[in-house]
Structure 1
Amino acid sequence: MTDILDRRLNAFRPDLADERLAERVQAERYVGGEPASIAVPLANIRPEADRARNIDTQFLFGEPVRIFERRDGWAWVQAEEDGYVGYLPEAELTAPTAPTHWISVPRSFVYPDAELRKVPLHALSMGSRIEVVGEAETRGTRYFLLKSGGAIIARHCVPVSDYVHSDYVAIAAEFLNTPYLWGGRSGFGIDCSGLVQLAMMMAGIKAPRDSDMQAAFGREIERHDVKRGDLVFWKGHVAIMEDRETMLHANGNTMTVARETLEAAIERIGWLYGQPTGFRTPY
């Protein structure tokens, strides 16, 4: 029965499986898992506990996960946000947190304290979840003080109960010129489906992670009906329509998030990957 389940979205192996799958898969042992949060700015998620393997996706700072196994310095986890399953170093996890805000700009620095002239501790991507425990102001700039340590520009954050705004296409456009990264899902590097998912998440739309999953998201439409916010798919690729003629996508041609007309993209991509495989609207 396990061959009908997507290993990206279901935690199962012959020796161990999520107890929620007990009636669907056979395993030597079933566990409920333990809650945790991502403790680093960006966690690379791999299909095996091996740093040599390519990444499938990335989890952001403060994202909640469930741990099914800890072994040899690695943890086998599943994201609460989109259900993605994979491995990451155990040291990149911490006890569950209680985020109050999330980052609402593509990237923002965390400083040692409320002083932008100091060397940052690290940077966080849009979508990262933080726990604010205080505020401070320096020369008119307001900072949030973080439970995890350091301070961040307050205007770069919104409460977790809020979203950047309802237009996810405008959010996606904020990532223009962000480097393309296979498996990337952040303001530091992003792939085509990561751009779709992250922009939608910040607009309050829950979307699956990979382009083949997104190709079943929403409802199918005809090419002549496309409008702002609709998605166009090729084999292994997805783009966001900015209007009826123009699209945004993270792509391996420019190796960035770029703006391109649909007609130009169809002509350029066609010789290698064929024609679009479909058009869908998430609304």
Structure 2
Amino acid sequence: MESNNIWLVNVPVATLWTSYESAREIDRDAIAGTVRLEEWLEKLTYEPRLQLCDDNLVQSQVLFGQEVMIIDEKGDWAHVVIPDQPSGKDSRGYPGWIPKDQLIQQSDWYIKQGPVAVITSKKALLYSERNERLMELSYQTMLPAVEDIVDRIRVKTPTGIGIIRAEDAAVYQAEKEIPKNNGAAIVASGEQFIGLPYLWGGMSSYGYDCSGFSYNMCRANGYIIPRDAHEQAAAGENIELNDILPGDLLFFAYEEGKGRIHHVGIYYGDGKLLHSPNTGKNIEIIPLADTIYEKELCAARRYWMNTGE
């Protein structure tokens, strides 16, 4: 595999593993050439889910059609960086390992230049031109738009032309034309995922971790922010805790706010937090008052602009 060519994710969601040896027997559905995400997550009871974090097995995830840069390989695995996910671990993007079966080479992938279709439904079916169901795509999957027809959109995929229903996506003339919305819009994007189980490393509508949730809700509204919570807390506009508004990111640290940052959520307004808590719990809205989060709250950052709406 040459590292100077464009490589794309060719499965609905590819998990970015810490090492080429990280995946366990129970993870087979997640590392197969045809990923079976729901089957994988169904098997992951509390303990094996917790191990993804505690044993440092998973780093992040990448969506269908997203570009990766290959920097090394080992057997059936590629060591990659994800340019769309800013990280202090590598200036080129978030690093980790993906099975080669989940990547495909493309020589003419013009997503940065032409119209794009972005999945706005929580999940959306991708069809072939013969109307066969190909796969289920996650929220925020972005593909080059070829043609916008009344009730469907023809898109370019890593393996050819596909069709998505118009009601499942928004089309923009270019990626940079995606509107930058206000804080209320970030909250509204997050609200639709209430009840979704937490997944360590999760970056899709099959499951988010805390910083994956804040990253993706900001991205859905036109803002690319760092992938990890402690780096999200070091960027953006610093907001005094007395001045927080809905859509601001709130950060929580050990030792009652004085230690290491370990969690991020979205300020919901009215003293409430919208967040993806931890393994075994679901995305929720909770009052901050009289909780551990109230004690650990240490910083707020604003990534959104007031659009006047």
TM over 0.5: yes
Question: Which residue of structure 2 aligns with residue 242 of structure 1?
Answer: 268
Question: Which residue of structure 2 aligns with residue 44 of structure 1?
Answer: 15
| Deviation of the 1:133 alpha carbon | 3.9
Q: TM-score, normalised by structure 1?
A: 0.76
Question: Which residue of structure 1 aligns with residue 83 of structure 2?
Answer: 80
Question: Which residue of structure 1 aligns with residue 102 of structure 2?
Answer: 92
CA RMSD of aligned residues (A): 2.5
Where 2:58 maps in the other structure, the secondary structure is: coil
Where 2:110 maps in the other structure, the secondary structure is: coil
Task: Select the structure with the greater relative contact order (CA < 8 A; seq sep ≥ 6).
Answer: 2
Separation (CA, whole Å) in 2 of partners of 1:35 and 1:151: 23
1:171-186 equivalences under 5 Å are: 171-186=189-204
Separation (CA, whole Å) in 1 of partners of 2:217 and 2:240: 23
Separation (CA, whole Å) in 1 of partners of 2:16 and 2:3: 20
Question: Which residue of structure 2 aligns with residue 129 of structure 1?
Answer: 142
Equivalent residues of 1:238, 1:249 under 8 A apart: yes
Matching of residue 34 in structure 1 with residue 52 in structure 2: no
> Out of 211, 216, 223, which is 2:234 matched to?
216
Equivalent residues of 1:114, 1:136 under 8 A apart: no
Separation (CA, whole Å) in 1 of partners of 2:66 and 2:80: 12
TM-superposition CA deviations, 1:127-175 (whole Å, max 9, x none)? 21223445667xxxx2223443543211211235343761222212222
Separation (CA, whole Å) in 2 of partners of 1:205 and 1:95: 27
Where 1:131 maps in the other structure, the secondary structure is: strand
| Deviation of the 1:98 alpha carbon | 3.1
TM-superposition CA deviations, 1:48-83 (whole Å, max 9, x none)? 112236211001111112111233111111112121
Question: Which residue of structure 2 aligns with residue 58 of structure 1?
Answer: 61
Separation (CA, whole Å) in 1 of partners of 2:281 and 2:128: 33
> Out of 114, 117, 139, which is 1:101 matched to?
117
> Out of 251, 274, 278, which is 1:252 matched to?
278
Question: Which residue of structure 2 aligns with residue 282 of structure 1?
Answer: 303
Where 1:238 maps in the other structure, the secondary structure is: strand
The size of the alignment, in residue pairs, is 241
Equivalent residues of 1:34, 1:68 under 8 A apart: no
Question: Which residue of structure 2 aligns with residue 13 of structure 1?
Answer: none
Q: Which amino acid counterpart does residue 110 of structure 2 have in structure 1?
A: A
Where 1:277 maps in the other structure, the secondary structure is: strand
Equivalent residues of 2:127, 2:163 under 8 A apart: yes
Q: 1:112 to 1:65 in 2, by over 3 A?
A: same
Equivalent residues of 1:38, 1:63 under 8 A apart: yes
Equivalent residues of 1:104, 1:164 under 8 A apart: no
Q: Extract structure 1 runs of 4+ deviating beyond 6 A.
A: none
Question: Which residue of structure 2 aligns with residue 5 of structure 1?
Answer: none
Equivalent residues of 1:158, 1:164 under 8 A apart: no
| Deviation of the 1:250 alpha carbon | 0.6
Equivalent residues of 2:58, 2:201 under 8 A apart: yes
% identical equivalent positions: 27
| Deviation of the 1:113 alpha carbon | 5.1
Separation (CA, whole Å) in 2 of partners of 1:172 and 1:126: 11
| Deviation of the 1:90 alpha carbon | 0.9
Q: 1:101 to 1:207 in 2, by over 3 A?
A: same
Where 2:265 maps in the other structure, the secondary structure is: strand
Q: 1:263 to 1:78 in 2, by over 3 A?
A: same
Q: Which amino acid counterpart does residue 153 of structure 2 have in structure 1?
A: F
Question: Which residue of structure 2 aligns with residue 18 of structure 1?
Answer: none
Q: TM-score, normalised by structure 2?
A: 0.70
> Out of 158, 163, 168, which is 2:178 matched to?
163
Question: Which residue of structure 2 aligns with residue 151 of structure 1?
Answer: 163
Question: Which residue of structure 2 aligns with residue 199 of structure 1?
Answer: 217
Residue ranges of structure 1 left out of the alignment (5+ in a row)? 1-30
Question: Which residue of structure 2 aligns with residue 3 of structure 1?
Answer: none
Q: Which amino acid counterpart does residue 255 of structure 1 have in structure 2?
A: K
Residue ranges of structure 2 left out of the alignment (5+ in a row)? 25-55, 86-92, 254-261, 305-309
Equivalent residues of 2:180, 2:223 under 8 A apart: no
Q: Which amino acid counterpart does residue 223 of structure 1 have in structure 2?
A: L
